[in-house]
Chains A and B, each alone.
Chain A
Amino acid sequence: MIKAILIFNNHGKPRLIRFYQYFAEDMQQQIIRETFHLVSKRDDNVCNFLEGGSLIGGSDYKLIYRHYATLYFVFCVDSSESELGILDLIQVFVETLDKCFENVCELDLIFHVDKVHCILQEVVMGGMVLETNMNEIVAQVEFQNRVEKSEGGLSAAPARAVSAVKNMNLPEIPRNINIGDINIKVPSLSPF
């Protein structure tokens, strides 16, 4: 079972947190800090598995992670999951994000937290894997999108400014998701 899914950037800023077991809010933040501390000090070419930190359950749990450009995707899982399988799952999730957002970058995760949650929900549910077929997941997301559109009513205020900032040349998915430096300021948006 997957106990938690954490996405944070190279500076430890959380971009998505999803716990499938109850932890109090401040504990969640502590776990993120601890996990970041454990993961960030590792070189890029070492292995992708390590024992969980003490807060999340210690050596009974494994942290399985991938590092894409500015983001760490960390899955905390128990011994019933295949390590390589989870690595593949992270890959599926990221590739799906990339399809849904068309060259996904950290900013997409920031500005569309709700969407990212929706996509994750199609992959993992209550800590168990729901679907691994990328086409199926994308189809679900597209379907939701159509429903949303048809319901209309949402002002089409542009988040275009946001996407314009992105440095989106992606020669190869997904190892090199080229995401602009996180410290780039978002240009001021047109006044409402």
Chain B
Amino acid sequence: MPAVSKGDGMRGLAVFISDIRNCKSKEAEIKRINKELANIRSKFKGDKALDGYSKKKYVCKLLFIFLLGHDIDFGHMEAVNLLSSNKYTEKQIGYLFISVLVNSNSELIRLINNAIKNDLASRNPTFMCLALHCIANVGSREMAEAFAGEIPRILVAGDTMDSVKQSAALCLLRLYKTSPDLVVMGEWTSRVVHLLNDQHMGVVTAAISLITCLSQKNPDEFKTCVSLAVSRLSRIVSSASTDLQDYTYYFVPAPWLSCKLLRLLQCYPPPEDGAVKGRLVECLETILNKAQEPPKSKKVQHSNAKNAILFEAISLIIHYDSEPNLLVRACNQLGQFLQHRETNLRYLALESMCTLASSEFSHEAVKTHIETVINALKTERDVSVRQRAADLLYAMCDRSNAKQIVAEMLSYLETADYSIREEMVLKVAILAEKYAVDYSWYVDTILNLIRIAGDYVSEEVWYRVIQIVINRDDVQGYAAKTVFEALQAPACHENMVKVGGYILGEFGNLIAGDPRSSPLVQFNLLHSKFHLCSVPTRALLLSAYIKFINLFPETKPTIQEVLRSDSQIRNSDVELQQRAVEYLKLSSIASTDVLATVLEEMPPFPERESSILAKLKKKKGPGALPVSELEEGKREGGGELNGGADRGNDMSAAASNASTPSPSTDLLGLRSAAAIGSAGPSTGSLLVDVFSEAGPTALSSGVNDEGFLRDLEPPTESSDSLLIEAPGESDSEDSAPPLPESDELLNKFVCKNNGVLFENQLLQIGIKSEYRQNLGRMYLFYGNKTSVQFLNVQTKPVEPLVEGGAQVQQVINIECLTDFSEAPLLNIKFRYGGALQNITLKLPVTINKFFQPTEMASQDFFQRWKQLNLPQQEAQKIFKASHGMDIELLKTKLLGLGCALLENVDPNPENFVCAGVIQTKAQQVGCLLRLEPNAQAQMYRLTLRSSKDTVSKRLCELLAEQF
């Protein structure tokens, strides 16, 4: 007999549904629905009380209408009323309506919560289950607030029915996921773990989801679940359990639960207990063995269930990554699946292998399957599978097989699905760069990429090839020759024109000796593409032309003529017109020397993370690909590198900048003015246009390509406390946030006055400072470590130019007005290689610099110590020694602090005591210090007392970092 008898349906509902299905048009359907909605609404509003059956019928109709995609904005109240019915049927439909339709409508939630509360207290298991289902399905914060305390009790109570336990476990899980703060760990947690041993497999099934989630968040508290899970798994796998009858699915014992147990174990490292580990390894071996046995049934469900367990076991083996024997077996098993006739298995095998490829033990083993994977990429009918194959090829690529893999991926690109082309292009570009031994291969690959899939080659990719060509002299000639050849194709992609224009503009001279690629031939070739290109490309080509004038004076008349033509000099696009006008003028007015300077070859780009890699990561999201292993620590400073915006900025042309520094120097006009503005202070871009420079900052400052710009600004919080003799210029608002390490740098200077404050590959900042009472003087030395000039633009105290290898000095006078805790910020901006460098540091001025040492005798010290006995006058910290406990070193540091180190004061000779007065303009603050080292525990206790609480606190913070 069927469980749902057909006889007890609701006729009104059936008629309504039939009506809808008979509707010939969408309009008719909507009309019928509106009629029904009106009917139901009037029934609900009517005076006559509806009986439970009618209510149920109408609610069912509303559900059906909702399913058809219509908003239901009433009936909620009726549904809530159904909850308080004593009849199961009515209650159940009420709960159903609410869990499908209600979101966090606070007014109703309170009523619903009331009904739930009653049902939970009813001790009727059916009602309790309904209520728990409702909580789990809605899972709102209000519900968590109301029931998060109650549900754990239901879950672990001895007399709770199994079915209720199951529901309670999942209900609790749902609440924990939505509002983890409200689910308080407690005595119940240990009992939850023991649900893994429950006799009822349904309870275990539900509980394991809960335990897995809790273990991920609190691994230590749930550690005991590992051994329980292993023993449960072992009983299932070895079929030792006798209670599996109903949970055997197509001859496989409890497949779902086995999978979940294996997942739970993946939350932990391999078990430390030898016995547990042995048992687990045995389980995993049994699972692997079973895969080789003949199937017990031909049904696909049987092999599905068996393989579900197998794949989870393999994931666990890969997760442990410690049993070479198992890893090899897993890899072989996956290798078999790669050729399996079931598409699902091929898909999953490719996916698992991707993770296996990043394991040291099995990388080589994975590589042996390269032919199969390449074949999958070529012949699989299913795009999902092909995508996994491409992922795996990417993951298994290394120096030994890069050429083969890149070639295969390139040839696949010609036929690849549109949906994955862009990602494929990025991957090819990354592999080509990463494993390039000779860069001519790299250039060939990228140009092929543009030829095959030009539309999918993003800016990052072609910027990157130019960047690499510019940085490597050995490939420039080859690149020029290759792009020249590529451009000769009758139809070539616009991206190819861009790369071609750029490279020929820079390095066209390297191939000009050959009469087949003489300057004029090059120019004519480029210009033949000009009219087919978009505005940004044309702008780039114009810049290439002016570069040609510099490289090949003989082309000057031809190019000037082109620039002078109406289609250029009167172009309706303001950007192109301006370039034409300015380039024309530049070429006719400037002397060859000036031209050569303005149009000089681009300087090399600073090395940093490939922008393509960043793009791929962004595209795939975290964890989708083992990208992180591939990046080889190239990452620098983090953050978004090479956002599109700063590139647009860099695309401006230096040539015009030199002649007319107008606000529209962004000659390519790729981005709006706003974008340019925001681009200025960012980290600077990898790729600066050949011809370009001049961000907005340089413009506002007046002149040159490369500016060195620095200003000091007062600290934001205690700005009145320090007077710094240096102007906060208008640029202060776009200074970068302080470097993450600036606090650390600051701490270096608490106990010393001289040293190197900051250093990177470009710039070194040294500091010398002296303090007397509340006054100080600080000398800042800016050293240029490169061989290129920094040109200064702003602030009087510094000479406007820092020669390569030279240093400039800046003096800052400091006066301490009152005590302070924030160090003033030092913001440095300068241009290097066209990129704006923007560094913000904390100036190492700390309160202790204004210490005046005070000598005193033991008696005086303790008397004063006792006087400063208010709780807020004391600050204390206990901390671990981080630099060893050398006494002489400690003494030096304490003296460097600026106060007097008092000998023979403390009764314990191990301890240090110091005294001093902090001088500020407003007041003098006496400070006493006591440092108690504990050599055994390698700990210190530091106590500070002073007449001002903020001073005690700040000194304590500063000092705690020193020892």
Tell me, in angstroms, the Cα distance from A145 to B126 when the chains sit together. 12
Q: Is the CB of A46 within 8 A of B17?
A: no
Tell me, in angstroms, the Cα distance from A135 to B301 when the chains sit together. 17
Q: Is the CB of B3 within 8 A of A43?
A: no
Write the chain A residue with the least CB distance to B206: A130
Query: Is A170 an interface position by the 8 A CB rule?
Result: no
Tell me, in angstroms, the Cα distance from A48 to B623 when the chains sit together. 22
Q: Is the CB of B167 within 8 A of A151?
A: no
- Contacting residue for B3 out of A99, A159, A188, CB 8 A: A99
Q: Nearest Cβ in chain B — how far from A12, in angstroms?
A: 11
Query: Is B384 an interface position by the 8 A CB rule?
Result: yes
What are 19 A-B residue pairs whose CB atoms fall within 8 Å in the complex? A14-B69, A49-B348, A80-B212, A84-B348, A91-B301, A100-B2, A101-B2, A111-B14, A112-B4, A113-B67, A115-B4, A125-B170, A129-B209, A132-B247, A132-B256, A134-B246, A135-B246, A145-B5, A159-B14
Residues of B within 8 A of A171 (CB): none
Tell me, in angstroms, the Cα distance from A162 to B10 when the chains sit together. 12
Q: A46-B384, A89-B256, A128-B206 are in contact. Are A114 and B96 (CB under 8 A)?
A: yes
Query: Is B621 an interface position by the 8 A CB rule?
Result: yes
Query: Is B424 an interface position by the 8 A CB rule?
Result: no
Q: A50-B384, A87-B304, A125-B133 are in contact. Are A163 and B6 (CB under 8 A)?
A: yes
Query: Is A45 an interface position by the 8 A CB rule?
Result: yes
Q: A47-B343, A151-B89 are in contact. Are A144 and B126 (CB under 8 A)?
A: yes
Residues of B within 8 A of A156 (CB): 7-8
Residues of A within 8 A of B587 (CB): none
- Contacting residue for B10 out of A43, A87, A138, A154, CB 8 A: A154
Q: Nearest Cβ in chain B — how far from A2, in angstroms?
A: 11
Tell me, in angstroms, the Cα distance from A47 to B257 when the chains sit together. 24
B51, B92, B256, B257: most-surrounded residue (chain A CB, <10 A)? B256
Q: A46-B382, A47-B385 are in contact. Are A83 and B348 (CB under 8 A)?
A: yes
Query: Is B890 an interface position by the 8 A CB rule?
Result: no
Interface residues in A128-158 by Cβ distance below 8 A to B read 128-136, 138, 140-145, 147-149, 151, 153-158
Tell me, in angstroms, the Cα distance from A89 to B69 when the chains sit together. 27
Tell me, in angstroms, the Cα distance from A155 to B51 when the chains sit together. 12
- Contacting residue for A144 out of B51, B92, B173, CB 8 A: B92
Q: Is the interface of B mostly helix, strand, loop or mixed?
A: helix
Query: Is B9 an interface position by the 8 A CB rule?
Result: yes
Query: Is B21 an interface position by the 8 A CB rule?
Result: yes
Q: Is the CB of B6 within 8 A of A158?
A: yes
Q: Nearest Cβ in chain B — how far from A130, in angstroms?
A: 6
Query: Is B381 an interface position by the 8 A CB rule?
Result: yes
B14, B71, B307: most-surrounded residue (chain A CB, <10 A)? B14
Tell me, in angstroms, the Cα distance from A58 to B96 when the chains sit together. 29
Write the chain B residue with the least CB distance to A186: B18
Write the chain B residue with the least CB distance to A63: B384
Residues of A within 8 A of B201 (CB): 133
Q: Is the CB of A43 within 8 A of B4?
A: no
Interface residues in A21-41 by Cβ distance below 8 A to B read 22, 25-26, 29
Q: Nearest Cβ in chain B — how far from A31, in angstroms?
A: 11
Query: Is B166 an interface position by the 8 A CB rule?
Result: yes
Q: Is the CB of A17 within 8 A of B67?
A: yes
Tell me, in angstroms, the Cα distance from A49 to B170 when the chains sit together. 26
Query: Is B305 an interface position by the 8 A CB rule?
Result: yes
Q: Is the CB of A51 within 8 A of B384?
A: yes
Tell me, in angstroms, the Cα distance from A7 to B87 when the chains sit together. 30
Q: Is the CB of A84 within 8 A of B311?
A: yes
- Contacting residue for A185 out of B22, B53, B69, B259, CB 8 A: B22
Number of interface residues of A (CB under 8 A): 87
Query: Is A181 an interface position by the 8 A CB rule?
Result: no
Residues of B within 8 A of A141 (CB): 3-4
Tell me, in angstroms, the Cα distance from A186 to B11 when the chains sit together. 14
Query: Is B344 an interface position by the 8 A CB rule?
Result: yes
Q: Nearest Cβ in chain A — how far from B791, in angstroms?
A: 47
Tell me, in angstroms, the Cα distance from A161 to B15 when the chains sit together. 11
Top-10 shortest CB links A-B? A126-B136, A157-B11, A159-B9, A84-B308, A102-B2, A46-B382, A47-B343, A126-B174, A100-B3, A47-B347
Q: Nearest Cβ in chain B — how far from A48, in angstroms?
A: 6
Residues of A within 8 A of B10 (CB): 154-155, 157
Q: Is the CB of B9 within 8 A of A132?
A: no
Write the chain B residue with the least CB distance to A188: B18
Interface residues in B281-304 by Cβ distance below 8 A to A read 301, 304
Residues of A within 8 A of B246 (CB): 133-136
Per-residue B-contact encoding for A49-90, CB less than 8 Å = 1, 0 else: 111000000111000000000000000000110111101110
Q: Is the CB of A142 within 8 A of B3?
A: yes
- Contacting residue for A84 out of B4, B89, B344, B346, CB 8 A: B344
Q: A84-B307, A158-B6 are in contact. Are A125 and B171 (CB under 8 A)?
A: yes
Residues of A within 8 A of B384 (CB): 46-47, 49-51
What is the total of A-B residue contacts with beta carbons within 8 Å?
236
Tell me, in angstroms, the Cα distance from A85 to B343 when the chains sit together. 16
Q: Is the CB of A151 within 8 A of B87?
A: yes
Using CB atoms and an 8 Å cutoff, list the residues of chain A in contact with chain B. Answer: 1, 14-18, 20, 22, 25-26, 29, 42-43, 45-51, 58-60, 79-80, 82-85, 87-89, 91-92, 99-102, 108, 110-115, 117-118, 121, 125-136, 138, 140-145, 147-149, 151, 153-163, 185-186, 188-189, 192
Residues of A within 8 A of B53 (CB): 153-155
Tell me, in angstroms, the Cα distance from A82 to B344 when the chains sit together. 12
Q: Is the CB of A132 within 8 A of B205?
A: yes
Residues of B within 8 A of A43 (CB): 381-382
Residues of A within 8 A of B621 (CB): 58-60
Q: A84-B307, A162-B14 are in contact. Are A131 and B93 (CB under 8 A)?
A: no
Tell me, in angstroms, the Cα distance from A7 to B139 when the chains sit together. 23
Q: A128-B170, A130-B167, A142-B3 are in contact. Are A192 and B11 (CB under 8 A)?
A: yes
Tell me, in angstroms, the Cα distance from A1 to B260 when the chains sit together. 12
Q: A126-B174, A141-B3 are in contact. Are A110 and B17 (CB under 8 A)?
A: yes
Q: A129-B205, A131-B166 are in contact. Are A153 and B308 (CB under 8 A)?
A: no
Residues of B within 8 A of A151 (CB): 87-89
B15, B69, B163, B173: most-surrounded residue (chain A CB, <10 A)? B69
Q: Is the CB of A88 within 8 A of B173?
A: no
Residues of B within 8 A of A121 (CB): 96, 133
Residues of B within 8 A of A60 (CB): 621, 624
Q: Is the CB of B255 within 8 A of A88?
A: yes
Q: A114-B93, A148-B89, A189-B14 are in contact. Are A101 and B4 (CB under 8 A)?
A: yes
Residues of B within 8 A of A143 (CB): 126
Residues of A within 8 A of B304 (CB): 84, 87-88, 91
Residues of B within 8 A of A189 (CB): 11, 14-15, 18
Per-residue A-contact encoding for B538-559, CB less than 8 Å = 1, 0 else: 0000000000000000000000
Q: Nearest Cβ in chain A — how far from B201, in angstroms?
A: 7
Residues of A within 8 A of B103 (CB): 22
Q: Is the CB of B8 within 8 A of A130?
A: no
Q: Is the CB of A158 within 8 A of B11?
A: yes
Q: Is the CB of B307 within 8 A of A159?
A: no
Q: Nearest Cβ in chain A — how far from B334, in angstroms?
A: 14
Tell me, in angstroms, the Cα distance from A59 to B171 when the chains sit together. 27
Query: Is B795 an interface position by the 8 A CB rule?
Result: no
Residues of A within 8 A of B87 (CB): 151, 153
Q: Nearest Cβ in chain A — how far from B60, in angstroms?
A: 5
Write the chain A residue with the least CB distance to B248: A133
- Contacting residue for A83 out of B173, B257, B344, CB 8 A: B344
Q: Nearest Cβ in chain A — how far from B136, in angstroms?
A: 3
Q: Is the CB of A155 within 8 A of B11?
A: yes
Q: A14-B69, A111-B14, A142-B3 are in contact. Are A126 and B348 (CB under 8 A)?
A: no
Tell me, in angstroms, the Cα distance from A162 to B14 when the chains sit together. 8
Query: Is B874 an interface position by the 8 A CB rule?
Result: no
Q: Is the CB of A128 within 8 A of B209?
A: yes
Residues of A within 8 A of B259 (CB): 82, 85
Q: Is the CB of A186 within 8 A of B173?
A: no
- Contacting residue for A29 out of B69, B92, B137, CB 8 A: B69
